[in-house]
A = this chain, B = another copy of it.
C-alpha cells in the first residue's frame, strides 16, 4: 500500500501485491477474482448443476470440498477421491480452474493431482507439517486465517509454505471467533487491510463462513472489495436445505449472480 494519499482511498489501485497465476486467472492483479461453488462435493450431478450456475454468473474459479474437517465425527466428511474426480471433471467441462481443501500431509500429492489450487482450512492454519507439505508442491495455496489467529500468526503460517519454495500463496480472511453470536464468526475487515500492508500476497475474503447466514454475505462481500480485497470465496447452493454441509450459509445462484454483477461494477474503470 503506497503511502501517498490517493492510494489510501483508492482500493482498486495497484499496490505491491505480487499476483498469483492460475491458468489464465490472475489473483491479485487488480480485478477481483471470484471463487464459488458448494461447500462440499455431494454428487457428480450436484457439482455440475451448481458449477454451471456459478460459471454462468461469472465465477472465475470453482470450489468444492472433497475432504471436510468437521467438528462432529458423525457429520458428512466428504466424498474423498470420488469428490475430487467430480470437481476436476466439472472444472474441465466448464473451463474453470478448481480449488479444494487438503487436510492431511499424506493426501497432498493425491489432491494436488486433481486441483489447481490447494486450500488450507481455518482449522489447519497451525498444522505445520501440512503447510510444509503443500509448500513442496508447485500448486498455488489458499491459506485461510485460523479462526482465532492474529494477522502475525497468519503471515507466519505462510512462511511455512514459502519455506518449501512455494510462494504462490493466497491469503483468505474468513472471520474470527468473538463474543458475538448472531453471526457465525466476526468478519475482520481490518485483517484484510493489514495482511495486504504487511505482505505481498493477494488477500481474498470468505464472507460465507464469516456470516453464517446468506442475508449478510453480499454486504460483507461488497465491504471486502471496497476495503481492497483481491477477491471472494463464496458458497453457493441451489438446494440449501438438502446440502450436506453448511447449506444454511450458501447463496442461491440468483443472489450470487447479482453479487458478481455488483462487484464487477464496483471495480470497473
* A contacts, CB < 8 Å to B: 1, 5-6, 8-11, 69-73, 103-106, 123-124, 126-129, 147-148, 150-153, 156, 159-160, 163, 176-183, 186-191, 193-194, 197, 210-211, 215-216, 218-220, 222-228, 254-255, 258-259, 261-262, 266
Contacts and interface: CB of A to CB of B under 8 A. Distances in A.
Given A178-B178, A220-B190, A255-B8, A156 B71 contact: yes
Main secondary structure of the interface of A (DSSP, over half): helix
Contact of A105 (B10, B105, B126, B190): B105
Contacts of A215: 1, 8, 193, 197
Contact of A71 (B70, B153, B163, B194): B153
Count of identical protomers in the assembly: 4
Contacts of A151: 180, 182
Contacts of A255: 5, 8-9
A69 B128 CA distance: 7
Nearest to A178: B178
Contact of A227 (B177, B223, B254): B223
Contact of A225 (B147, B211, B226): B226
Nearest to A75: B156
A124 B188 CA distance: 23
A199 to B, nearest CB: 13
A126 to B, nearest CB: 4
A14 to B, nearest CB: 16
A189, A218, A266 — most chain B CB neighbours (10 Å): A189
A24 to B, nearest CB: 27
A258 to B, nearest CB: 4
Contacts of A148: 147-148, 177, 179
A185 to B, nearest CB: 9
A188 B176 CA distance: 11
A144 to B, nearest CB: 12
Q: A105, A193, A262 — which one has the most chain B CB atoms within 10 A of its CB? A: A193
A176 B180 contact: yes
Contacts of A147: 148
Contacts of A191: 180
A216 B187 CA distance: 15
B176 A262 contact: no
